[in-house]
């Protein structure tokens, strides 16, 4: 027998919230790793900023520029924003007053 729409709706929300919970754990680990990576990136940037003039156009400077140009924080913030949007979506879906059918609303 097929489950009712409201039952399937609730099950889908529960499944999505479980997935979001798992994703939150992974996202927090990613944010921590990103922060660690950004700390090291900043050290490379400081190195680049203190290069003597004779190394400003060297292969070393090019490599330091590549590291310095990584926008780690913005990319992880974008993931957090997408996560928050998905979380809001499931919260909204959970709070909806679903139609029950002809004559029962």
pTM of the model: 0.78
Q: Three-state SS across 29-75?
A: HHHHHHHHHHHHHHHHHHHHHCCCHHHCCCHHHHHHHHHHCCCHHHH
Q: Inform me whether the pLDDT recorded for 4 exceeds 70.
A: yes
pLDDT in tens, 30-61: 999 999 999 999 999 999 999 999 999 999 99
User: Cα 28 to chain center, whole Å?
Assistant: 9
Interatomic CA distance for residues 100 and 105, integer angstroms = 6
């Amino acid at each position: 027998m097929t489950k009712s729409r409201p039952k399937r709706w609730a099950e889908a929300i529960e499944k999505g919230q479980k997935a979001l919970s798992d994703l939150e754990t992974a996202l927090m680990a990613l944010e921590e790793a990103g922060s660690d990576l950004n700390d090291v990136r900043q050290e490379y940037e400081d190195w680049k900023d203190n290069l003597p003039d004779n190394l400003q156009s060297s292969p070393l400077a090019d490599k330091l520029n590549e590291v310095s140009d990584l926008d780690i924080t913005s990319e992880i913030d974008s993931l957090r924003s997408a996560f928050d949007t998905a979380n809001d979506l499931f919260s909204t879906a959970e709070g909806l007053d679903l139609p029950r059918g002809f004559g029962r609303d």
